[in-house]
A and B are shown apart, each in its own frame.
Chain A
Amino acid sequence: MITLADQLLVLVLLINFISLGTSRLIFSIRAVAVQGVILGILPGLIHPFSWHLVGITTVIIAVKGFVIPLLLVRAVRSAEIKREVEPFLGYVPTLLLGAVFTALSFGFAGKLPMLPEHQNYMFVPASIATLMSGFLVLTTRRKAISQVIGYLILENGIFIFGLLLAEAMPIMVEAGALLDLLVGTFVMGIVINQISREFSSLDTSRLTSLKEE
């Protein structure tokens, strides 16, 4: 099972690069949805079977794979935008930065002590690399939707790390974290709608009336 889990994590890393490199919003949302489904499958591969596990898997796939992406797709449709134009930093530089961060996170993870049974997995580097990729998307893109996508990738990175401690974290906290993510995205979705109504675009670089002179 180790190899399968690791292969899925490689897929997660590839999806990070897809999101870093694409300008098409719907495509990016779908990629993140696939990432969410992979994250839903992962707990089943590393933990023994239990009904608790089935519950978690179902909820994660439903929320990360379907509910949140649908919310975002609807926001994109209603705002009638298709592409991220003119990000603050071009696609090639962000991709390169993403690669650098991914390499760095492997170095960082190598320095930290791990449990012997986790030694062979690449959960920690994958988690940190995903976190950094999300942060990159969040900071380099102009459109509000892209920033939310970045936030979701960042959350996914945190989630990957959370898999290592499924036993340590009682279900209540997991559920709470997931709920917060859902509500947060929902609120952001509403705000996005308001932005597009108020500015007739989703371009957050137009949000400059509060700049310090």
Chain B
Amino acid sequence: MLAALIILPLIGAATCWLIPFDRLRPKVLSLFSLAHFGITLRLLIVTPPESPGGWFHLDALGKIVLLSTSTLFLVCALYSIGYLFYRQERSNRALCMWLLVCLSAASLVTITHHLGLMWVALETTTISMAPLIYFNRNARSIEATWKYLLICSVGVALALIGLYFLAYATIVARVEPSLLLDDLIRDAGKLSSGWVHAAFVFLLVGFGTKMGLAPLHTWKPDAYGEAPGLVGALLSGGLVNLAFLALLRVYQLCLATKEIVFFQNALIVMGLFSMVMAAVFMARQADFKRMLAYSSVEHVGIMAVALGLGGKAIFGALFHILANGLTKGVLFLSSGNIHRSYNSKRTDQVRGVLRRLPWSGGIFLAGFIAITGSPPFAPFISEFTIISSAFMQGQMLVGAIFLLSLTVIFIGMALTVLPMVMGEVPADSEKTAYRDTFWTVGPPLALLLLMFLLGVWIPEPLMTLLRDAAALLEVPQ
């Protein structure tokens, strides 16, 4: 079953490559994503035992990320049926193929417990997204692709040397040399602290770059801004979570060594810095997709702070994987529709969206309300848990900066979003062939409803899963 998660999307990628018809490919993509989602649900219910040797093990943390990634992929695949109908001017072969390759690598990240293999899979997801950011084939998208590729590759390379340091620490300590998470956790006490400390610094910088934590976030606005909406959704809702999972693995390791306090403090500092940076750049943003990118910087910051706080905030961080990932899907997919309709993503040209596109505009507005942490949507629950945990632990300063950033971001985002959706469509606005259809509105709407549902009621199995996962990250007394 675990193998099917990896192999099935690869078969799909090959199929997409072979099919000569542009109209058929998104349907194949959807079919394979649906099958992947089906397998994911089955794996969540009937979890296979750890593979011999311990390389593959779907634990609670992996399950959460897998569930969120697979759901988002399915929604994006369905959306692509409608979206690519409006993008018939160019072939979608590369897009559909690389999406499925990325899905395969993403699944591998979630199920493996071998840090080296996880690194390879993570790097594969980075590379597979590069052609997708370059989908529009113009000067701006090539610039974004170059920045993305270079910065992320360097980041992931730094993570690799961090892993090498860890492996060498096991050799120096004369324990069984290994990069298996479970072995490392077992032997963590014996590892030399010099190497482990250096390793954690490199791993934090490396995975932090891939995740887009400030000050390593500079590729993010460009890549998210230039990529098509559905690629932006997958970057901000999918790949970010995979990098976060990698950080969670490092965190698990830190718990077993004496380095945890240092790592937690580093996470809090980087997280708060990300939130402040996002708050500064969010205001007066003239491009609504770039605005969403800064929102993504904010939310990886939130997750990092929560992880750094520990305790109850861990639950918030884990729930935020789902809440942020899927809400980002809502926002990027509906913003893709708006971009298609106005043929512009500048906020001075895009006005009166609610009049022109009542559905997409409404979903975008609701998505904005959800992502800024307003009830009754899911991100409210995670953010509220994190803030209350900060104050309960007596981390007043952290809580205060956190709250202040959230407020500034809410105002900054509202100043961009409200004029966009309200008001009249400018008379000189470009007329395009785009109309809201079932396939372009249905997928983000479904996600939005899901976010609403999770905001008012968390089903018992999901609650159990989140608790199990949080237990893996608890600081031992």
A154-213 contacts to B (CB < 8 Å) = 154-155, 157-158, 161-162, 164-165, 167-170, 172-173, 176-177, 179-180, 183-184, 187-188, 191, 194-195, 198-199, 204, 207-210, 212-213
Q: Is the CB of B171 within 8 A of A199?
A: no
Nearest opposing residue in chain A for B118, CB measure: A173
Cβ proximity bits A80-98 to B, threshold 8 Å, 1 near / 0 not: 0000000000000000000
**Complex: A16 Cα to B461 Cα, angstroms:** 55
Interchain CB contact (< 8 A) of B171 among A164, A176, A198, A213: A164
Which residue on chain B has the smallest CB distance to residue A208? B143
Interface stretch, picked from B152-160, B296-304, B463-471, is B152-160
Q: Is B391 an interface position by the 8 A CB rule?
A: no
A203 to chain B, nearest CB (A): 12
Known: A165-B168, A209-B139. A112 touches B134 (CB 8 A): no
B161-A173 in contact (CB<8A): no
Q: Is the CB of A135 within 8 A of B146?
A: no
A45 within 8 A of B: no
- B192, A113: Cβ atoms closer than 8 Å: yes
The answer on a CB contact under 8 Å between A177 and B179 is no
A75 to chain B, nearest CB (A): 13
Q: Known contacts being A111-B194, A210-B140, is A194 close to B116, with CB within 8 Å?
A: no
Contact A207 B161, CB 8 Å, known A164-B168, A167-B177, A180-B124: no
Given the complex of chains A and B, what is the CA–CA distance between A154 and B158 in angstroms?
9
Q: Which residues of A contact B178 (CB under 8 A)?
A: 168
Q: Which B residues are in CB contact (< 8 Å) with A34?
A: none
Residues of B within 8 A of A183 (CB): 127
Cβ A138 vs Cβ B150 within 8 A: yes
Distance A161 CA – B164 CA, assembled complex (angstroms): 7
Indicate which residue in B119, B130, B140, B170 contacts A168 across the interface (CB closer than 8 Å): B170
Cα distance A151–B153 when bound, in Å?
Answer: 8
Residues of the B chain whose Cβ atoms lie less than 8 Å from the Cβ of A209: 139-140, 143
Residues in B with CB closer than 8 Å to A161 are 161, 164-165, 168
Query: Does B195 count as interface, using CB distance less than 8 angstroms?
Result: yes
A contacts with B: majority SS: helix
B124 and A147: CB pair below 8 A? no
B168 touches A151 (CB 8 A): no
Query: Could you tell me the distance in whole angstroms from the C-beta of A107 to the nearest C-beta in chain B?
Result: 13
Interface assignment of B131: CB less than 8 Å from any CB of chain A: yes
Q: Does A114 lie at the interface of the complex (its beta carbon under 8 Å from any beta carbon of B)?
A: yes
Query: Contact check: which of B164, B198, B222 meets A112 at CB < 8 Å?
Result: B198
CB neighbours (8 Å) of B165 from chain A are 161
B473 adjacent to chain A (CB < 8 Å): no
Distance between Cα atoms of A32 and B198 in the complex (Å): 27
Least Cβ–Cβ distance between B372 and chain A, in angstroms: 22
Contact A151 B150 (CB under 8 A): yes
Q: Which residue of A lies closest to B192 (CB)?
A: A113
CB pair B225–A176 under 8 Å, yes or no, is no
- Complex: A184 Cα to B114 Cα, angstroms: 22
Which of B138, B146, B167, B170 meets A144, CB within 8 Å?
B146
A169→B116 contact, CB < 8 A: yes
Indicate if the CB atoms of B130 and A198 lie closer than 8 Å: no
Which chain B positions have C-beta within 8 A of A187?
127, 130-131, 149
A129 at the interface (CB under 8 A from B): no
Q: How far is the CB of B259 from chain A (nearest CB, A)?
A: 15
Interface string of A104-122 (1 = CB under 8 A from B): 0000000111110000000
Provide the residues of chain A in CB contact with B153, threshold 8 Å. Answer: 151, 184
Q: Which of B116, B192, B225 contacts A173 (CB 8 A)?
A: B116
Taking a contact as CB atoms under 8 Å apart, the answer to whether A210 and B221 are in contact is yes
Counting CB contacts under 8 A, is B405 at the interface?
no
In this complex, what residue of B is CB-closest to A190?
A: B131
Interface size on B, residues (CB 8 A): 48
Select A165's contact among B134, B143, B177, beta carbons within 8 Å: B177
B28 to nearest A CB, angstroms? Answer: 24
Q: In the bound complex, do residue B161 and residue A158 qualify as a contact, i.e. CB atoms below 8 Å apart?
A: yes
- Residues on the B chain within 8 Å of A135, using CB: 154
B168 touches A195 (CB 8 A): no
A131 within 8 A of B: yes
- Chain A nearest CB, measured from B442 CB (Å): 32
Chain B residues closer than 8 Å to A207, beta-carbon distance = 142-143, 146-147
Provide the residues of chain B in CB contact with A158, threshold 8 Å: 157, 160-161, 164
Q: How far is the CA of A199 from the CA of B194 in the complex (A)?
A: 47
Q: From residue A117, how far is it (CB to closest CB) to chain B in Å?
A: 10
Asked whether B69 is an interface residue with its Cβ less than 8 Å from the other chain, the reply is no
Q: With A168-B178, A194-B134 in contact, do A112 and B120 touch (Cβ < 8 Å)? A: no
Nearest A residue (CB) for B197: A112
Could you tell me the distance between the alpha carbons of A207 and B138 in the complex, rounded to whole angstroms? 12
CB of A168 within 8 A of CB of B195, answer no
Q: How far is the CA of A162 from the CA of B146 in the complex (A)?
A: 27
> A112 — which chain B residues lie within 8 A by C-beta?
192, 194-195, 198
Q: Is the CB of B142 within 8 A of A176?
A: no
Measured in the bound complex, the distance between the Cα atoms of B143 and A127 in whole Å is 31
Asked if B146 and A131 sit within 8 Å, CB to CB, the answer is: no
Q: Are A198 and B149 in contact (CB under 8 A)?
A: no
Chain B residues within CB distance 8 Å of chain A: 114, 116-117, 119-120, 123-124, 127, 130-131, 134, 137-140, 142-147, 149-150, 153-154, 157, 160-161, 164-165, 167-168, 170-172, 177-179, 192, 194-195, 198, 221-222, 225-226, 281, 286
Interface residues of A, Cβ cutoff 8 Å to B:
111-115, 127, 131, 135, 138, 144, 147, 151, 154-155, 157-158, 161-162, 164-165, 167-170, 172-173, 176-177, 179-180, 183-184, 187-188, 191, 194-195, 198-199, 204, 207-210, 212-213
Interchain residue pairs with CB less than 8 A apart (15)? A112-B192, A113-B192, A131-B161, A138-B154, A165-B167, A169-B167, A172-B117, A184-B153, A191-B142, A191-B145, A191-B146, A195-B146, A198-B139, A209-B139, A210-B140
- 9 A-B pairs with the lowest CB-CB distances in the bound complex, closest first: A168-B177, A176-B120, A173-B116, A207-B143, A210-B222, A180-B123, A168-B167, A165-B167, A112-B194
A114-B172, A169-B167 given; name 7 further pairs at CB < 8 Å: A151-B157, A162-B164, A168-B179, A173-B117, A191-B146, A194-B142, A210-B226
